[in-house]
Structure 1
Amino acid sequence: MTNSDLTPDLKYVRTEMTHGISPPRGEHGLANWLRTNLFATPVDAALSVLAILVLVWLLPPMINWLFVNAVWTGADRSVCTTAAQGGIQPEGWSGACWAFVDAKFQQFLYGRYPIDERWRVKLVAVLFVLALVPLLIPKVPHKGLNALVFFFVFPIVAFFLLVGGWFGLPYVETPLWGGLLVTLVLSFVGIAVSLPLGILLALGRRSQLPVIKLFSVIFIEMVRGVPLVTVLFMASVMLPLFLPPGVTFDKLLRALIGVALFASAYMAEVVRGGLQAIPKGQYEGADSLGLNYWHKTALIVLPQALKLVIPGIVNTFIGLFKDTSLVYIIGMFDLLGIVRQNFADANWASPQTPATGLIFAGFVFWIFCFSMSRYSMFMERRLDTSHKN
């Protein structure tokens, strides 16, 4: 056998990569998307056609009322009481009265907060965004320092700026607060307090110490067993009756405590569900490494549990954000409360005013809730380690 017989025949070996082949014409483009997502089966096609017909029936009148025939500027209700155009709406319902929102916009944001001091609210909003955005972007470094600033330094600075009475700032009593300011303050405090307190309650409910477990179970079941309206009523009306004479708490502070404790009970059950989903092997592996309870919980168990229940945590946050509107019953005016209060303004009393104001409030709530929902989906995808096909 010669060396030539051992030499491979190189004419069968490819020396360069082939170019990618385009997919068949029927497997891409708009037609393929429609066939795959809307008309894959006869049932899908029927439902898609029905949905399109409903949209065609609803959207034109809605667009006409919200934008085409809407009144955008004006000094009083006279600009919003024009007759219907085109005969689509009944008399007096020609379009939305966005002039009402434009005239009351500052009040919707700040309530009765003094006009000359509203720069303090704007500064707090800017500081809030500057502290929050880097915390939400995964690639930004120094997350520990960022979290310290956002959860500890920022609330102190915001308190001194909003309340005043120090450093030459005039004092602004909380009954003057209102609108979106109150909604965001209640939401921020409720979220910042309910998550760590809920984690502690969840760990307490799974504790082997009878006293701690009993306290956690009683607190969670009692708070979850009553509506938030009752909690707010107790904090605002009943609590001062049990305090010593001359001792009182600010109404906003009582509402903050009630909302935070109420949300903590629900958060505890969400976190407990995540803790129960962790396999027993994770606990045994941590024990085999010689970790104590707190190291095992903080480094092994809790990070996995919180990742599993991100949807439940964000769902609780969204519910808390919307439930802030219930403070209206104890005489506080959040965004929805301040909108409803302005319906009684005789200068803007018209059939279009209530619907327009409620649509505006609903849209603002939707923006915040939708943003939280989308960010939670982003974090789920980023933390997903299941390697699904």
Structure 2
Amino acid sequence: MNRKDFLKWFGLGGVGLLGTASIPALIARLRGAPVDQSGPLCFGPAPTDPTAATGSGFALGDDGMGNGTGLLRRTGNAYGSMVHPPSGLHRNYLSSFERPLKEEHGEWLFAGTSNDGASAKLEDRYLPPFSRAKSGVRDIEVRTINRPVNVAHGTSFNAWTFNGRVPGPVIRATAGETLRIRLRNLTNEPHSVHFHGSHDPNQDGWESIPGGTDTLYTIKAGPVGVHPYHCHVPPLALHMAKGLFGTMIVDPPGGRPPAHEVVLILSGYDLQNRGRNDIYSWNGLAGFYDRFPIRVNVGELVRVYLVNMLEYEPVASFHLHAQTFDVFRSGTKLQPDDHTDVITLGQTERAILEFRLPYKGRYMFHPHQIHMAERGAMGWFVAV
């Protein structure tokens, strides 16, 4: 920052907005000294990527986390999220939440695979497709594992996970199929798996399963739609906020029209154990879809399975810029309930959205609770 920029910033009242925790960093920046860039709200330029829609900026706050009236942001590009994703990720890292109409070619890196993705089967790379189990029965294993997960730039969270990731795996079935879900609790805490939807109450998953044990749930997949699942052991808010949640898609027997499908699960992270979210994410990584936009073809049908799994927030919304969408509330009907550009969801509410992007360009999406967007839950669809 040169003298002219500083005086201009000072004239806007910038110093008066700074919290005391931020003053040393500002002085260091003015002197040209290195600045600590750890944490989700970083100062320096983030790694560039040719597929990225934006670059980076910096943020300051009263508490060093971007909270309070001391919040500032400056970006060196058209727009940017204050909270950046973990460094070193490939744009296809979250491919298990997306299924293009056609497989992409070229360089691929997938979570849990070799560097070239060669060890990953096609069905493991993407969101599972519509299919019918030949026997009418699907066997699924869900494991509870405690582990640290990288959730933002320089930020690790001690999570309770299903199968080692937050959110847990997307489960997909066809209505009427029998699901046999084996829960293996590999932790010392009691846990469970509760599925939303319609099933035998004796298989509801609210009972605690002690650490080091396992159990089997048998349910019928239904009704048609998108349904969350999560741990239901008290204190429920803690178990969900720590990461024990996921999504199940139940397809109609004939499937839905072919589309570019994307699961978007909104959640937050309480980094300071105070019952309040500090950063927000789609599919577990803050700022990921700001850095790595969801790429779709112009004019193709896009289907979003949208799920609100925030704890500590009574309501959240989803807004798509420059386009409107059909809304299928919970996805339980095959005809849309509404057509709009913003939808509001309470905790664990969900919807299926369908739209087409008619022009090449970037289409921003985010919650219209702006603090969520600014702290990691802003992203882009890019029509090519």
Q: Which category of TM-score, normalised to the shorter sequence, fits these structures?
A: under 0.3
TM-score by length of 1: 0.27
Pick the structure with greater CA Rg. Answer: 1
User: Greater relative contact order (Cα 8 A, min sep 6): structure 1 or 2?
Assistant: 1
Structure holding more strand per residue: 2
